[in-house]
Amino acid sequence: MTNSETILVFDSGLGGLTVLREVVAARPGAHYVYVADDAFFPYGHHDEAEIIARVVPLMGELIGTHDPDLVVIACNTASTLVLSHLRAAYSVPFVGTVPAIKPACAQSRTRRVSVLGTKGTVKREYTKALIRDFAQGCEVTLVGSPELASLAEAELRGLPVSDEALAAELAPCFVGDPADATSRTDTVVLACTHYPLLLDRLRRLAPWPVDWIDPAPAIARRVSDLLGPRIGALAQSGAEMIFTSNRAHGLSAMLTPFFGGRAVA
């Protein structure tokens, strides 16, 4: 045993594993608790008041049980709604996940950026405020995908997901003349942590090449900044996977790469 810090990573389902993977790489000696709120998945099918009423007390229970040094809310939908409530209620540091509109617009050459998220995330005032503050003259297209998060979970579990289903969710992101590379969409923000699970297929199905913006590396840097330098041993600590439905995960082989190669309890 080491005096490892404990980092709790929370998502509505398995999409937050894409964030976990980056955080584990940045803090390899930490103890990790990953919580998938599958009993309430997908969050995009619930209204704002329901999500707040669900997540705030649930987080209190999780903090009481696991005593984390830091909590990552690895879910855009929850972060855009609940972060302020969580920070008001609990003293533990929280790191959220919000659409990476600022870096996307800063790097876009054609000034056409699309934000691909859940329906809930793209309609939030929080997201619209990010566009007002950071669009920098870009034309930003908001695309609310009804099914892509569920398709990502299915893919991760080894279930068949057709190219046609993915292409239909992706198509509205691509704006402009396909033949004119100077005026069409050149950057897509992945505003749901589930979507990077499908990134290889999204790249292949895209009607033209674009830059895909995944916020996970920036989240990992923020976690390390808040926790500061590690003192003492960096021996790999434990890892736990918890479903709020209380079902056994049965996913050990699939989860191992996300947890930095360690066995998952």
Burial class (CB in 10 A: 0-12, 13-18, 19+), 76: buried
Active-site hit among 105, 138, 173, 192 = 192
Report the interhelical angle of 216-227 vs 17-26 (nearest 10°): 50
- Decide: 25 and 233 in contact? Cβ < 8 Å: no
Spatial CB neighbours of 162, under 8 Å, sequence gap ≥ 6: none
> If we measure between CA atoms, which residue out of 115, 43, 79, 62 comes closest to residue 222?
79
Q: Is 138 assigned a catalytic role?
A: no
Question: Which of 75, 105, 138, 173 does the annotation list as catalytic?
Answer: 75
8 A C-beta contact, residue 23 and residue 219: yes
The residue whose two tokens read 């600590």 is 237
CA distance 116 to 99: 9
Distance of CA 93 to the CA centre of its chain: 18
- 223 CB-side CA count, 13 A: 32
Helices 125-134, 76-89: inter-axial angle, 10-degree rounding = 100
State yes or no: is 173 an active-site residue.
Answer: no
User: Which residues are part of the catalytic machinery?
Assistant: 75, 192
